[in-house]
Amino acid sequence: MIPGMPQAISAARFVVSFDQMAPSYFSELSGITSEVEPTEYIAADARTGAIVHTKQFGKTKPPTVTLKRGVDGTAHLLAWHTMVIAGNPGARMTGTLELQNASGQPQATFRLINAWPSKIEVGNLKAGMSEIVLETVTFTCEEVLPI
């Protein structure tokens, strides 16, 4: 470790907490995604008549956070997702994503503004295998801010 140099973050678990809900623990953060689509702009230069191609900022996509965990028998995330399917405006909640080390100490925290579970997926399974059943949850947010 070099004094004064930023250190890479490592995490042993990921905890998502939202108001009115028990915290959810995850073993994998697949990604926090923020995207702006590039838009091609074509114009003719007024002086020379040359065609100019440029890329401009286009449509922004809402940020997403994708997490994975072993299915633990709790159904609160699925119940929340059902509220989303029903179009319930109360399904948007603000909460936190905390990256914790093996001792449970926070390494980084993000605020998830007006988040909702847009996708829940239960992993591929084969009969007779001893693999853990994985649940993948994608949260769509208005903003994801580091705290």
147 residues of the chain, pLDDT tens digit each: 567 667 677 788 999 999 888 999 999 999 999 999 999 999 998 899 899 999 999 999 999 999 999 988 888 999 999 999 999 999 999 999 999 999 999 999 999 999 999 999 998 777 887 888 899 999 999 999 999
The whole domain housing 90 covers: 13-35+61-146
| 82 falls within a domain | yes
- By the 8 A CB rule, do 80 and 119 touch? no
CATH of the domain at 83: 2.30.110.20
Helix (H, G, I), strand (E, B) or coil at 30: strand
| 45 falls within a domain | no
What the block records as the tokens of 107 is: 């390494």
| Reported pTM | 0.84
What the block records as the tokens of 114 is: 């007006």
| 139 falls within a domain | yes
Query: Distance between CA atoms of 139 and 147, rounded to whole angstroms?
Result: 18
